[in-house]
Chains A and B, each alone.
Chain A
Amino acid sequence: MLSRTAASLYWLGRYVERADFTARLIEATVRLDALSASPAGEAAWASALAVTYNDKAFAATGHAISPQPVAHFLTLDMGNPGSIVRCLEQARNNARAVRTALTREAWTAINRLWLLFAKRVSPGGTATTLSLVEGVMAEARGFEGAIHRMMANEAAMLIQLGAAIERSDNTARLLDVKYHLLLPEGERVGGLVDRDQWTTILQTVSAVTAYRWLYSDGLRPSNVIDLLITRAELPRSLAGCVEEVVEQLNALAKRTGLQGEADRMARARIARMQKTRSHEVIVSGLHEYLQAFIRENAMLDAAIARQFRFI
């Protein structure tokens, strides 16, 4: 496989995952905004910006933090490199560049995803915004389905590797920002927190039901943290993503014979993850833990690029 093709496939996986995550985040924020008894609206939208590292860029637009402008900024703003439309544009450009490595179904799914946005100028009111992001999530599922029906070759593996790296980054950032937002100065993790906000985290990663299955004692922040860091059976948990990265790298090694630094880093990470206990993380500092995870993820990303000679 061409090195450029490998890079495009990997980034295709990352961008679709990023668009999907942002869509989920918007959906969760709309719910949070609607459900909160207190006027939590502004805080909810502010947190959506913080999770995507967009707070400064949004401030530069001069708009007040309220549903419509933030929703527009995160979905359709061509000036925001992290907006859904820009992610989809990047995903489609990468997909076009490697069309020959994709099945017709996979390409069509990407193209349909992109067409959702191609002629839109406004996310509309709340109901329209919701149906737009639901469309993104549904089409992204269609894309994932198509990837799973491609030949199990290095093309499909690289897309899934990119998606797993991106997904672990998103979950870590989501948890980290909530840590900032939810804890007033001097407050211990596990103290008084806004129940709605923790529910929102679970909703964002589609884990409300999983939580009920796994924990019997009601909604507790420490359990949410435990679920999202250590429970590998949840595909969006850090442990789940870390396992998937190793699996995809192993599968790639088997097909291409390429193994190296990225495999060593990923295996070391999984070994550490298996020993991780969430209460220890909370005691020694969730924020520090997540920051280290995000840094390590970026180093792994760079090692993958070297290993597969991305150009």
Chain B
Amino acid sequence: MGKGRAFDEIWGHGGPDAPRPDFAELSRWMAETPHAELNRRQQAAEATFRQLGITFAVYGESEASERIIPFDIVPRIFLHDEWQRLSEGLVQRVEAINAFLQDIYGERRILKEGVLPPELVLLNPQFRPEVAGIRPPHDVWAHICGIDLVRTGPDEFFVLEDNARTPSGVSYMLENREAMIRLCPELFRSFRVAAVDSYSDMLRETMRSVAPERSGTTPVCVVLTPGHFNSAYYEHSFLADTMGVELVEAADLLVDDDIVYMQTIAGRVRVDVIYRRIDDDFLDPLVFRPDSMLGVPGIMSAYRAGNVALINAPGNGIADDKAIYSYMPEIVKFYSGAEAKLPNVETWRCREPQALKYVLDHLDEVVVKLVDGSGGYGMLVGPTASKAEIEAFRAALIAEPHRYIAQPTLALSTVPTLTESGLAPRHVDFRPFVLTGSDGVRVVPGGLTRVALKEGSLVVNSSQGGGTKDSFVLLPKGQSQQQTQVQS
């Protein structure tokens, strides 16, 4: 890693003077707009985010230290055909995730046929025996998926992680676009960019489509938040607001005779669909953690009775578990009958002795992750780790190998990013959002690009100092904005 130059999404393998052919115009814009002007616009965007309160709370710090996620003004751009291929892969993957969840909590064909080791699923802490036998309305489990991707070359995309529980970041996708339209309108004249602001309508349609049969044509939909101290609260309120539905907390809900109601100033109102942004553990103290104050007692029983749709379905964690991830190519093949269009990053399962041996021999080259870790915690990035860190991980791996996976350090693609010393390449990843309703799977033309702001760093997590960029998906040549909106 770090020897050869990584693929840059705009500059290719060339550089500012020899960008990829489709991006000559963007390169010219970057060269011609003075650094101070780019800086000014970037600061204006960040000032707006602060004023709007588009912040995330850092746990353990006081409320005054709410942070905004740094915003970078240079967009990352997908050509139309790149996006087309990516979308097909995403749809295939999310369909497989849904089929897997349905199967695992139902017939378990995939275990019976020996594709997955049963203990890996059934003894997995993310597997919820409480959910077994439940069929969610319309058999949809993973209504909203955020699939984290990385890229290493023009046609080399890899899935880094599947998020099938409560993927966040969609509000940044939408606010970043707002900021770009205000601050860099000239870019939208140079590039015809697919609109992302239909996301809220699509989400609302998705919610409506999975309402229990009895709720009729205007089901009551709500967004359930743990409350305004949660780090993603801005997003919860944003989504409720733009969909025009109530944002509720657990205390607003009650379950009576297996029916969920919200308490309004006019009395109880029956609820049909809940987009819950509370983890399974905290959803229902009668079924999951009894000490949870966040949950709604009885909500699982209403769900089991088919009286309410929960988005995403409880139990989904088994599909985005890092140990299951390594089997995703087999899972896709098992349910779709075809090879996965989007490959995984090569993954060594340390529970397997041969893989463990390889990882131990190459600790200074690989990334080691806890299977149940997140947010950039509990991982070793071999090439940049100190001797002591490597030895600490070696001991941990030998003690509990089943808790770890390892992956090669990829030459993640870069995108030009505004730094103190001008525009420079910085590593990025990408999270597109995939919606599944009773009528099919849709990919929103855009997503969240996260960028590692430190030179050479591969860690893009916002809790580790990463920033975000707008992500343009270009329309096919000759198609106008209006046409796509009508078609979507």
Instruction: Indicate whether A and B interact.
Output: yes
B247 is an interface residue with CB less than 8 A from chain A: yes
Tell me whether A152 is interfacial, beta carbon within 8 Å.
no
Interface residues of B in 265-324 (CB under 8 A from A): 265-267
- Please state if B264 and A3 are interface contacts (CB–CB under 8 Å): yes
- B406 within 8 Å of A by Cβ? no
State the CA gap A95–B361 with chains docked (Å): 55
Decide: A100 and B237 in contact? CB cutoff 8 A: yes
Residue B228 is within 8 A (CB to CB) of chain A in the complex: yes
- B465 adjacent to chain A (CB < 8 Å): no
B252:A2 contact, CB within 8 angstroms: yes
Given A3-B264, A311-B251, decide whether A99 and B237 contact each other with a Cβ distance below 8 A.
Answer: yes
Task: For chain A, residues 266 to 311, give those with C-beta under 8 angstroms from any C-beta of chain B.
Answer: 308-309, 311
Nearest chain-B residue to A108 (Cβ)? B51
For B246, give its contact among A100, A107, A108, A256 (CB under 8 Å).
Answer: A100
Are A119 and B265 in contact, with the CB atoms below 8 A? Answer: no
List 25 contacting pairs A-B, 8 Å CB cutoff, sorted by A.
A2-B248, A2-B252, A2-B262, A2-B265, A3-B263, A5-B246, A89-B63, A93-B228, A96-B228, A96-B237, A97-B228, A100-B237, A100-B240, A100-B241, A100-B246, A104-B52, A107-B52, A111-B51, A115-B50, A256-B266, A258-B266, A308-B265, A309-B263, A309-B265, A311-B252
Q: Does A4 contact B (CB under 8 A)?
A: yes
* Residues 41-98 of B contacting A (Cβ, < 8 Å): 50-53, 63-64
Determine if B265 and A258 form an interchain contact, defined as CB atoms under 8 angstroms apart. Answer: yes
Closest to A93 in B: B228
Cβ of A76 to closest chain B Cβ, rounded Å: 12
CB neighbours of A258 from chain B (8 A): 265-266
Q: B233: CB under 8 A from chain A?
A: yes
**For the side of the interface on B, what is the size category?**
20 to 34
Q: Could you tell me the distance between the alpha carbons of A3 and B264 in the complex, rounded to whole angstroms?
A: 5
Q: Which residue of B lies closest to A6 (CB)?
A: B265
A5 to B53, CA, bound (A): 19
* Nearest Cβ on chain A to B463's Cβ, whole angstroms: 21
The answer to whether B64 and A3 have CB atoms under 8 Å apart is: no
State whether the Cβ of A34 lies closer than 8 Å to any Cβ in chain B.
no
Which residues of B sit under 8 angstroms from A5, Cβ to Cβ?
246
Residues 108-129 of A contacting B (Cβ, < 8 Å) = 108, 111-112, 115, 118-119
CB distance from B14 to the nearest CB of A (A): 43
Is the beta-carbon distance between A256 and B228 smaller than 8 angstroms? Answer: no
Spell out A's residues near B (CB within 8 Å).
1-6, 89, 93, 96-97, 99-100, 104, 107-108, 111-112, 115, 118-119, 154, 256-258, 308-309, 311
A116, chain B: closest CB distance, angstroms? 12
User: With the chains together, A309 CA to B249 CA distance in Å?
Assistant: 16
Contact A311 B263 (CB under 8 A): yes
B329 CB-CB contact with A under 8 Å: no
Give the docked Cα–Cα distance between A112 and B263 (Å). Answer: 31
- A119 and B262 CA atoms in complex are apart in Å by 38
| B227 lies within 8 A of A99 (CB) | no
Measured between beta carbons, the chain A residues less than 8 angstroms from B249 are 4, 97
State the CA gap A258–B267 with chains docked (Å): 10
Residues of B within 8 A of A (CB): 50-53, 63-64, 227-228, 233, 237, 240-241, 246-249, 251-252, 262-267
Q: Which residues of B contact A89 (CB under 8 A)?
A: 63
Asked if A3 and B241 sit within 8 Å, CB to CB, the answer is no
A63 to B267, CA, bound (A): 50
Which residue of chain A is the closest to B233 with respect to CB atoms?
A96
Closest to B246 in A: A2
Question: CB distance B52 to A111 under 8 Å?
Answer: yes
Q: How far is the CA of A258 from the CA of B241 in the complex (A)?
A: 25
By a CB distance below 8 angstroms, the chain A residues around B53 are: 96, 107-108, 111
| Chain A, Cβ-Cβ closest to B239 | A100
Closest to B227 in A: A97
Q: Tell me if B252 and A257 are in contact (CB < 8 A).
A: no
- Nearest opposing residue in chain A for B269, CB measure: A2
Most B-side CB within 10 Å, residue of A97, A154, A258: A97
- Chain A, Cβ-Cβ closest to B243: A100
User: What 20 new A-B contacts, CB under 8 Å, besides A1-B265, A111-B51?
Assistant: A4-B249, A4-B263, A96-B53, A97-B228, A99-B247, A100-B246, A100-B247, A104-B52, A107-B52, A108-B51, A108-B52, A108-B53, A111-B53, A154-B265, A257-B266, A258-B265, A258-B266, A308-B265, A309-B263, A311-B263
Kindly list chain A residues whose C-beta atoms are within 8 Å of the C-beta of B267.
309
Which residues of the partner chain B approach A93 to less than 8 Å between Cβ atoms? 228
Chain B hits for A119, CB < 8 A: 64
Q: Identify B64's interface contact among A2, A104, A118, A308, CB under 8 A.
A: A118
Give the CA-CA distance A2 to B267 in the complex, in Å: 9
Complex Cα distance, B266 from A257, in Å, reads 8
* Residues of A contacting B240 in the complex (Cβ-Cβ under 8 angstroms): 100
> Chain A nearest CB: distance from B230 CB in Å?
11
A2 is contacted by which of B63, B233, B237, B264 (Cβ under 8 Å)?
B264
Q: Tell me if B265 and A3 are in contact (CB < 8 A).
A: yes
CB A167 to nearest CB in B, in angstroms, measures 23
Residues of B within 8 A of A4 (CB): 249, 251-252, 263
A1-B64 CB under 8 A given contacts A100-B241, A112-B51: no
- Nearest A residue to B241, CB-CB: A100
**B263 in contact with A2 (CB, 8 Å):** yes
How far does the Cβ of A204 sit from chain B's closest Cβ, in whole Å? Answer: 30
For residue B266, which residues in chain A have a CB less than 8 angstroms away from its CB? Answer: 1, 256-258
Compute how far the CA of A1 lies from the CA of B264 in the bound complex, rounded to whole angstroms: 5
- A12 and B241 alpha carbons, distance in the complex (Å): 19
Residues on A with C-beta less than 8 A from B233 are 96
